[in-house]
Amino acid sequence: MKTALIQHAIQGSAKETIAKTVSLIKEAATKGAQLVVLQELHQDRYFCINEDVACFDLANNWERDIAFWSGIAKENTVVLVTSLFEKRSAGLYHNTAVVFEKDGSVAGKYRKMHIPDDPGFYEKFYFTPGDMGYNPIQTSVGKLGVLVCWDQWYPEAARLMALKGAEMLIYPTAIGWFDEDTEDEQRRQCDAWETIQRGHAIANGLPVISVNRIGKEEDNHNVLDGIRFWGNSFVAGPQGEIIVRASHDQEEVIIVDVDLQRGEHVRRIWPFLRDRRIETYGDLTKRFID
């Protein structure tokens, strides 16, 4: 299956950023992409860098956003994985991945479950944790286990998607480092981010697709120096092998063949699901064990 990973920086405005994304989707489609994966909250800047009630207005166009990206998927005849700011009701908002089928219909959606709250990543201020569970989305190109960014660090989320029949794991992402961090610390963070996702691929015998943005985004409140998103979008195979990896700072449309059949072979030689001792895992539902 030809899959496109679209990695780019924000432009001068939301309108310009969306236009850039659309142009890159068209480029991917002309190159034969069947599945296109976008980065987290791709329509605009990463507004969670600070807490500002005015930013909730960015979700006011939720229904219009759905219609717009539906049209883009249909126009380009691709299965499209988006990442949008959902206004569910007054005071109730989600970080939501919406997957569109090739005909523009909504194949399904996933509300981000794990919500971070760190300097520069104040997502708990904006997003209510998801309540839709971990359910793969059936599409014409396969059963997609779509999760979002901070979900990357939780093996439980990946496992539950796998146990429900996901044929791949997909992570739209917005993650970066601070320029004031040492070069060694920056590298450790990026390596950890990639390593844990490759671990999800290995533990579940599934390919993993992770798409991150690039570029430095400023804090418009001038509290922080800003976040430099580290790119490095990648695809890992079911043994954790890197199939393709983007640069840390360049706009890229990567087209890669993802073999959905190989997971079956890997699971036969590494039958981790067979050997799980499910009767011993009850304590996983506890916060901590004293």
* Residue numbers annotated as active site: 40, 112, 149
Residue reference for tokens 């990357």: 152
H helices of the chain, in order, are 14-30, 62-76, 155-163, 183-204, 262-269
Is 240 in contact with 199 (CB distance < 8 Å)? yes
Q: Which residues pair with 37 in a beta bridge?
A: 5, 81
Q: Mark 163-186 as b/e (b = at least 16 C-beta within 10 Å).
A: eeebbbbbbbbbbbbbeeeeeeeb
Residue 146: CB atoms within 10 A of its CB come to 30
Which residues in 232-252 are b (16+ Cβ under 10 Å) and which e?
bbbbbbbbbeebbbbebeebb
Distance (Å, rounded) from C-alpha 70 to C-alpha 200? 30
Sheet of 214-217, strands arranged across: 176-177, 227-230, 214-217
Task: Encode 99-119: b = buried (16+ Cβ within 10 Å), e = exposed.
Answer: bbbbebeebbbbbbbbbbeee
Both tokens of residue 58?
């960015």
**Cα four-point dihedral sign 131, 135, 139, 144:** positive
Could you give phi then psi for residue 132, rounded to 5 degrees? -100, 0
